[in-house]
Amino acid sequence: MDDRIKFDVVVIGGGPAGMISAGRAGELGAKVVLLEKNSKLGRKLLITGNGRCNLTQAEFNVREMIEKFGPNGKFLFSSLSKFGVKETLDFFNSRGLDTKVERGDRVFPASDNAKDVLDVLVKYLSENHVKVLCDTRVIDIKKDGNRITCLITNKGEIVANSYILCTGGKSFPGTGSTGDGFRWAVDLGHNVTELKPALTPLSISEDWVKSLQGLTLKNVRVNVLLNGEKKESIFGEMLFTHFGVSGPIILTISKNVGLLMKKGNVTLSLDLKPALDWTKLDNRLQRDFLKYQNRFFRNSLDELLPQKLIPVIVRLSGIDPEKQVNSITREERHRLVNILKSLDMTVTGLLGFEHSLITSGGVNIKEIDPKTMRSKLIENLFFAGEIIDVDGPTGGYNLQICWSTGYIAGENAAFSAINEK
Ligand SMILES: Cc1cc2nc3c(=O)[nH]c(=O)nc-3n(C[C@H](O)[C@H](O)[C@H](O)COP(=O)(O)OP(=O)(O)OC[C@H]3O[C@@H](n4cnc5c(N)ncnc54)[C@H](O)[C@@H]3O)c2cc1C
């Protein structure tokens, strides 16, 4: 790369926010370069939604949507009003990506393949003549007064009129999101609020959990208990892992679990059969036991539970696995019902940035103009995506932040750069 090539807009970070902002700036006629330190764009995007990419949430009411982002959600009002869920879907659908809406209004590509989302973005970049420089790591940002003057990269200096910072958070650092942007933001005079892992799997002390690694449970209820007292309850899908539990409902409760752990012992009480109350489940077991009265106990739960779970439940029930079903006592059966309705797991901690889906905290929203994504401190700096101090629950909300803020940042960085020429 030649030293000091001059561009209208430089975008730092080739994640979803960086790609859409670079494409939009190029679409408006700006001469744009996108810098990515990895050898390829969108490394994290490819692993979103377990490789299926939950690209947005089918919530078309801006006010309702904003509620989901908590106190900082208001910051997104302008960008969601201008480029919200409808515009995002139009953007992808009109470029050949068919989408489908799943339970919980989660939107996925019809192909179930995150690569198809990335392909749309890569094509958007090339159609709008964005110069993409991979293997290009930004090392430092130089400023003079309230303007950035140039970037120092491992391949030389880059100069532009406008700069968009889209380096993401600190979660899953192996994908490239190592939090470099936070440091520069501080160097440039911005405040960065406390950075914490969010949407985080939980570690569990009970040994049996490990043997369930990989098991997904749908339609279960998890009750969160603090020192034995119920504090929260959530219904949906969860997953067992080698260290504990994860999956949509666990990630959703993780923030509260973290807060509760500061106050005492937190237990998750798993209701494996939330559709049946205690008595109905007991009746159901009596019917099953009558049907399979000559079987061993360990072979009698096939219709009730996933195979992987049966040995664990059998062990925890304390009933002899080789006992014939017709000789199981009422007391033993009741013990089994109790376990199926309340399988307790002791939370030992939240996993850190290595495993958290997102980073909460970031560049203080008071220092960014929500209409343009322009820094209020540095006149030719813009922000987009996870680097900003706003985050949402699971369900496509976090990528929507990238699409909305990225599009608006790209647009305004281009206007600003072109006007200066
Ligand atoms: C496992 C997992 C699953 C997820 N699933 C979903 C989902 O289904 N739906 C959803 O809405 N959200 C999901 N998320 C969250 C979502 O991926 C993020 O919110 C989103 O990727 C943030 O985009 P971004 O562009 O701001 O940053 P990133 O995607 O983190 O991209 C930042 C880019 O900047 C580059 N970079 C960093 N520093 C430098 C540097 N110094 N020089 C050059 N380049 C640099 C990085 O290499 C990286 O490519 C998931 C996250 C994870 C970890």
Whether domain 201-351 has CATH 3.50.50.60: the reply is no
- Report how far ligand 1's centroid is from the alpha carbon of 349 (Å): 24
* 25 touches ligand 1 (CB under 6 Å): no
Residue type, 67: E
* 138 touches ligand 1 (CB under 6 Å): yes
Task: Quote the percentage of the chain above a pLDDT of 70.
Answer: 99
For residue 153, which atom of ligand 1 is closest to its CA? Answer: 42
- Please tell me the predicted confidence (pLDDT) of residue 420: 83
Residue 421's pLDDT band, with cuts at 50, 70 and 90, is confident
CB neighbour list of residue 329: distance below 8 Å, 6 or more residues apart: none
Average pLDDT over residues 252-268: 94
pLDDT in tens, 10-68: 999 999 999 999 999 999 999 999 999 999 999 999 999 999 999 999 999 999 999 99
Question: In this structure, which long-range contacts are made by residues 64-71, counting pairs with CB atoms below 8 Å and at least 24 apart in sequence?
Answer: 65/397, 65/400, 68/392, 68/393, 68/397, 69/390, 69/391, 69/392, 69/397, 69/401, 70/391, 70/392
- Report how far ligand 1's centroid is from the alpha carbon of 168 (Å): 5
- Please tell me the predicted confidence (pLDDT) of residue 88: 98
* 15 touches ligand 1 (CB under 6 Å): yes
For residue 356, which atom of ligand 1 is closest to its CA? Answer: 53
Average pLDDT over residues 349-365: 95
**Residue of the nearest CA to atom 45 in ligand 1?**
13
Helix, strand, or coil (residue 6): strand
| The pLDDT of residue 252 is above 70 | yes
Distance from C-alpha of 415 to C-alpha of 365, rounded to nearest angstrom: 22
Average pLDDT over residues 82-92: 98
- DSSP-assigned states of every residue in 334-385: HHHHHHHH-EEEEEEEE--TTT-SEEE--B-GGGB-TTT-BBSSSTTEEE-G
- Which residue among 34, 38, 44 has the greatest number of ligand 1 atoms within 8 angstroms of its CB, and so is best to mutate? 44
* 258 touches ligand 1 (CB under 6 Å): no
Domain positions in the chain are 5-197+358-420, 201-351
Pairing of strands 229-240, 216-226: antiparallel
For residue 19, which atom of ligand 1 is closest to its CA? Answer: 25
| The pLDDT of residue 1 is above 50 | no
- Please tell me the predicted confidence (pLDDT) of residue 276: 97
* 201 touches ligand 1 (CB under 6 Å): no
| The pLDDT of residue 80 is above 80 | yes
* 53 touches ligand 1 (CB under 6 Å): yes
* 167 touches ligand 1 (CB under 6 Å): yes
- Which residue among 398, 400, 405 has the greatest number of ligand 1 atoms within 8 angstroms of its CB, and so is best to mutate? 398
* 404 touches ligand 1 (CB under 6 Å): no
74: left (phi over 0), alpha (psi -120 to 50) or beta: alpha
- Which residue among 52, 55, 167, 363 has the greatest number of ligand 1 atoms within 8 angstroms of its CB, and so is best to mutate? 167
- Please tell me the predicted confidence (pLDDT) of residue 2: 46
pLDDT in tens, 394-419: 999 999 999 999 999 999 999 999 98
For residue 56, which atom of ligand 1 is closest to its CA? Answer: 11
* 54 touches ligand 1 (CB under 6 Å): yes
* 406 touches ligand 1 (CB under 6 Å): no
* 19 touches ligand 1 (CB under 6 Å): no
- Please tell me the predicted confidence (pLDDT) of residue 419: 87
- Please tell me the predicted confidence (pLDDT) of residue 184: 97
Helix, strand, or coil (residue 332): helix
- Report how far ligand 1's centroid is from the alpha carbon of 399 (Å): 9
- Report how far ligand 1's centroid is from the alpha carbon of 324 (Å): 54
**Residue of the nearest CA to atom 41 in ligand 1?**
138
Residue 171's pLDDT band, with cuts at 50, 70 and 90, is very high
CATH architecture of 5-197+358-420: 3-Layer(bba) Sandwich (3.50)
Determine the Cα angle at 203 with ends 389 and 198, to 5°. 5
* 16 touches ligand 1 (CB under 6 Å): yes
Average pLDDT over residues 281-288: 96
pTM for this structure? 0.91
- Which residue among 136, 363, 399 has the greatest number of ligand 1 atoms within 8 angstroms of its CB, and so is best to mutate? 399
Tokens of 68: 């989901």
| The pLDDT of residue 206 is above 80 | yes
The structure tokens 């922000």 sit at: 383
User: Is the fold of 5-197+358-420 the same as that of 201-351?
Assistant: no
Distance from C-alpha of 224 to C-alpha of 394, rounded to nearest angstrom: 18
- Please tell me the predicted confidence (pLDDT) of residue 5: 66
Average pLDDT over residues 363-367: 98
**Residue of the nearest CA to atom 6 in ligand 1?**
48
Distance from C-alpha of 298 to C-alpha of 316, rounded to nearest angstrom: 12
pLDDT in tens, 303-342: 999 999 999 999 999 999 999 999 999 999 999 999 999 9
- Please tell me the predicted confidence (pLDDT) of residue 384: 98
For the chain, give the mean pLDDT.
Answer: 96
- Please tell me the predicted confidence (pLDDT) of residue 114: 98
- Report how far ligand 1's centroid is from the alpha carbon of 375 (Å): 21
